[in-house]
């Protein structure tokens, strides 16, 4: 297996999104605000589409009536992808989820999930134990408190997972502004930076 510190490419990876549901968003109390988490998840999805990266989307507790579905604005970015609903807090232990990840054929997994300390940390740690490499996007996740969020980040990094941010990941996936990949990504980057400015303006108003 390659050293986990090397730069990742679009050919190596799958995007794994877990539990972006109403109930989870409502309990986020860590550093990245709800609207920015949502925007960053949508940005990750759009990047994955641009770079032909497979996506796995999961929810928890929808079929048993515990939680609602994926937030509509996020689900709207994935009209042809059916979420994998499960009951386990650890998605890695759900058979359908595990099979969906295996089906991507990728051994490097980019994770984003709510909450950091549970539904992100558990599959990140267990997938690495099973021979996968894991990256998580810190500004597309959130925990039920700042200390829970930061403790989970420390735990995952100590285990060998890679922390990244949404925009840095985008740049990592194309690396060269003169490349054909950059040309494909430019409209998505322009959209994202514009939306970030709108959020900043709304917060300062």
Catalytic residues: 119
Nearest to 140 by CA among 47, 40, 69, 53: 40
Q: Estimate the share of the chain in helix, then strand, then coil, as percent rounded to the nearest 5.
A: 50, 15, 30
Nearest to 174 by CA among 14, 8, 2, 17: 8
Backbone angles phi, psi at 100, to 5 degrees: -65, -40
54 within 8 A of 5, measured Cβ to Cβ:
no
């Amino acid at each position: 297996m390659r050293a986990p510190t090397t730069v990742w490419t679009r050919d190596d990876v799958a995007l794994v999104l877990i539990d972006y549901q109403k109930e989870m968003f409502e309990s986020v109390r860590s550093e990245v605000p709800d609207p920015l988490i949502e925007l960053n998840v949508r940005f990750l999805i759009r990047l994955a589409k641009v770079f032909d990266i497979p996506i796995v989307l999961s929810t928890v507790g929808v079929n048993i009536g515990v939680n609602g579905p994926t937030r509509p604005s996020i689900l709207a970015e994935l009209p042809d992808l059916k979420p994998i609903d499960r009951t386990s807090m650890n998605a890695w232990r759900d058979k359908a989820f595990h099979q969906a990840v295996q089906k991507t054929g990728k051994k490097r997994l980019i994770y984003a999930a709510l909450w950091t300390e549970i539904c992100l940390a558990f599959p990140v740690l267990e997938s690495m134990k099973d021979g996968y490499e894991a990256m998580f996007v810190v500004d597309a996740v959130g925990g039920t408190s700042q200390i829970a969020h930061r403790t989970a980040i420390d735990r995952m990094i100590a285990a060998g997972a890679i922390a990244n941010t949404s925009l840095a990941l985008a740049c990592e996936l194309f690396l060269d502004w003169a490349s054909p990949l950059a040309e494909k990504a430019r409209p998505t980057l322009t959209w994202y930076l514009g939306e970030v400015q709108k959020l900043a303006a709304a917060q300062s108003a």
